[in-house]
A and B are shown apart, each in its own frame.
Chain A
Amino acid sequence: MEALLQEFDTLLLYVFAGLSLAGAIAMLVLQHPMRVAMALVATMIWLGAIYGLVGVHFIAAFQILIYVSAVMVFIIYVIMLLDVRDMAYTRRYAGLLIPGAIAAVVFFGVLAATLWRTVEVPLTTTAAFGIGQFAVDFLQQYWLQFEVTSVLLVAAVVAAIAVVKAGGKDHG
């Protein structure tokens, strides 16, 4: 039974990995930005599923909450706002398709080959990594970083307002 479950988990992992890869590739080829956004949302969801499978459930939850709902909603909103049908829409690729593809393949190939050769300790633990332990570690060891992120967020908010204001000034 246990072994069967293991097998099932592994199978699911392959399925989710394949689906997210497919979503990513779809992002490259789809034309309309909204479709690209949908493909990205799909990829993110599948990644969230993978996180769940390897046992970090709370990160899976964050993935859905923050990425899919907050960030992507923001992007979709803007896509709807800016429905500009211009060159960027009719011709989806810039002129660098072939050199870019070659470079990306080399990049991927070299790293993959390296990964292939170096067999590390295999990933075996799928035991749940609870939010409790994470919270304790987080607030005991990494509280400073946590506080710094809040500074970063404040800065981002201020910057966003500044950008909007500066743009507003330009146009009276």
Chain B
Amino acid sequence: MDKLQLLLLLALALFAIGLLGVVIRRNLLVMLMCMELMLNAANLSLVTLARQTDTSAGAVLVFLVFVVAAAEIAIAIPIVLLLVRRRHTLDADAYADLKG
């Protein structure tokens, strides 16, 4: 197993763990953090492949992901704050208003 495969495998594992975390954890903040983990996994694969092809495009994408992540968290956190202020709970299952 060379480094490429190792790093891609790691990225894959982190992504799967992040996704699984979003599925199984109740706490809204933990779910948010798991999404951050997924973004990190994506970053890792971008960097790895950028190194393999020896281009700068991957690095640029990573930079953009940073920005998106910052923007995302800047909006997600106020939303969580508002939700908690309304229902006084961080349990995602409490917010099932979209039930059909």
Contact = CB atoms under 8 A, between A and B. Distances in A.
Q: Do chains A and B touch in the complex (CB under 8 A)?
A: yes
A88 B89 CA distance: 8
A148 to B, nearest CB: 9
A160 B74 CA distance: 7
Interface residues of B, number: 72
The binding surface of chain A is classed by DSSP as: helix
A122 B48 CA distance: 11
Interface in A127-172: 129, 133-134, 137-138, 142, 145, 149, 152-153, 155-157, 159-160, 163-164, 166-167, 170-171
A59 B18 CA distance: 21
A129 B46 CA distance: 14
B32 to A, nearest CB: 7
Contacts of A138: 56, 60, 63
A47 B40 contact: yes
The binding surface of chain B is classed by DSSP as: helix
A111 interface: yes
B99 interface: no
A118 B99 CA distance: 43
B13 A152 contact: no
Contact of B75 (A17, A97, A156): A156
Given A21-B10, A108-B12, A123-B7, A28 B21 contact: yes
Q: How large is the interface on A (under 10, 10 to 19, 20 to 34, 35 or more residues)?
A: 35 or more
Given A50-B7, A91-B26, A71 B21 contact: no
Contact of B5 (A28, A96, A115, A125): A115
Contacts of A94: 23-26, 92-93
Interface of B: 2-10, 12-14, 16-21, 23-30, 32-34, 36-37, 40, 43-44, 47-48, 50-52, 54, 56, 59-60, 62-64, 66-75, 77-82, 84-86, 88-94
